[in-house]
Structure 1
């Protein structure tokens, strides 16, 4: 029986197994969907599906560099305990290196990559789910390229709970780039310069500050000056170059970089689980729920 792409897709949706594993299962069972599911279960390839609807908001970030290119990734698991497991740490590193080597366009493309052993990355992750016993998901990554007289800065905080990759130009000194990465990890700016802040966001902030000043009973003729002064504080909160340098509060990040003959081209900051709904469960209750099954 001819195995179609729609059959492979249906089996993947049912089992969570990798594309090539699903195709093999359908070939082995002559296209019988029920038998193919059983085949994958017997081989331990369908275990990942049981965990597919769980929330994986813990995990690690990682940064890998290789000459002119660097990558930062976030890989998620369900619990902090698993995220600290040496097998999970090794998995994060393996995935980061594969992405850096192949530079896929997005997560979907990354999952279709093949490791050095010829195993599809999605299948490789599903195998680890079966071994580790938790849902694992590649959430996001970004590949960055640099040119001459430029440097990458990598910094991982709390073992990878926060990861930062900076890209500076005007110097090849990685220590300078790492100093900036440490600052980004600590202060969490949103933009490099004021020019990057969307006009709508600035206008909204200006209007809020204006209303605050008017509500304080300030005369209208000085409100505008007050707003511009307070807007400066806003830029200091969100713009990297305007911020006091975390390692030397007597200068801004921009001043520090100028002293090194450098400037920042970009930065990426990942904090594990940011924007995701994290589990809030009692561990003892979870253990008891497993015992009762």
Structure 2
């Protein structure tokens, strides 16, 4: 029976095995889909599909910067913290970062379909599937972001990969002092988790929504105060909130007499630079993912009795 591209695609989607492995399995089994799945399972190529129902919520964030101008940050997940600390897993994540730096893909689908830099006969998805088979846990390349700038971009990794940050700045001077300043700003992002770089990024609908909430709170707390006083209270509370969620408005953690904006301005002036923090990217490992609480002893017992 002739093996078609559609059959290869279907088998790949069913098993998570590599494209060439699926093609070989179909050729070996004369196009019999069930037999091809069995062939892949026997050869360890379909091991990834057996892990598909598990939750990969551990892992690490990793980042890299090339020549101050190009950077990438990735989050790759594993099922356990033990694997996240494994040298082979971390080496794979490093390769994924290098892939992201060289990538032109705009989304994860495009990224996963790219030719793998370390072996162009494979895709990124193929490389991931192979690593799943070797390590024996469900792994997931969850997200990536690439930054290209004419100014300067720095990275900061906190807690051995628990949190990763990129900070991009427009600047006409790039030296050790400027890099150090931006690294400090990245540490601020890691510690204080702002939602926005500046107030300019805050959506008008978000502000209106917050005003409604603050208005209801103020009226409930102060039912006898006139509307003009309530309005001033709302403005004050909204400004306080902006100072918490907007990076440049935050109190600089290393010098409470300065905001982050004033700190950046101070360093820029000292170095004769025109510098503006443009944006940041912050990844936290497992953010938003459900973590399964398993009884490890029960799992080992179940595997021994299987």
TM-score (norm 2): 0.91
Q: Deviations over 1:239-269 (max 9, x none)?
A: 1111001221110000011112222111100
Deviation of the 1:45 alpha carbon: 0.7
Aligned counterpart in structure 2 of residue 272 of structure 1, from 285, 288, 293: 285
* Equivalent residue, structure 1, for 2:181: 176
Structure 1 alignment gaps of length 5 or more? none
Residue in 2 aligned with 1:39?
39
Asked if the contact 1:153/1:179 (under 8 Å) is kept, the reply is no
| 2:111 is the counterpart of 1:106 | no
Aligned to 1:192: 197
In the other structure, the counterpart of 1:239 is: 246
Provide structure 2 residue ranges, at least 5 long, that are not aligned to the other structure.
269-274
> Does 2:305 match 1:292?
yes
CA offset at residue 160 of structure 1?
A: 0.5
How much does 1:215 deviate? 1.1
Following TM superposition, by how much is the alpha carbon of 1:23 offset from its aligned partner in structure 2, in angstroms?
A: 2.2
In structure 2, distance between residues paired with 1:284 and 1:114? 38
Measured in 1, the distance between the counterparts of 2:116 and 2:20 equals 11
| 2:131 aligned residue | 128
The whole-number CA distance in structure 2 between the counterparts of 1:69 and 1:27 is: 44
Residues 44 and 133 in structure 2, CA contact (< 8 A), matched pair in contact too: yes
- Contact persistence 1:190–1:240 (CA under 8 A): yes
Q: Is the 8 A contact 1:153 1:180 kept in 2?
A: no
1:28 aligns to what? 28
Separation in structure 1 between the aligned mates of residue 91 and residue 64 of structure 2, nearest angstrom: 13
Aligned partners of 1:221, 1:140: CA distance in 2, in Å?
A: 47
Q: Which moved more, 1:183-192 or 1:240-249?
A: 240-249
Cα deviation digits, residues 180-205 of structure 1 (max 9, x gap) = 11000000001011121111111111
Distance 2:14 2:197 in 1: 44
Alignment partner, residue 143 of structure 1: 146
Q: How many pairs does the alignment contain?
A: 291
Does structure 2 conserve the Cα–Cα contact (< 8 Å) formed by 1:16 and 1:52?
no
Of 228-237 and 94-103, deviating more is 94-103
Calculate the aligned-residue CA RMSD, in Å.
Answer: 1.5
1:108–1:154 CA distance, 2 compared to 1 (3 A) = same
- Where 1:247 maps in the other structure, the secondary structure is coil
Asked whether the equivalents of residues 152 and 178 of structure 1 are also in contact (C-alpha less than 8 Å), the reply is no
User: C-alpha displacement at 1:51, in angstroms?
Assistant: 0.2
1:250 aligns with 2:257: yes
Bigger shift: 30-39 or 52-61?
30-39
Structure 1 length normalisation: TM-score? 0.94
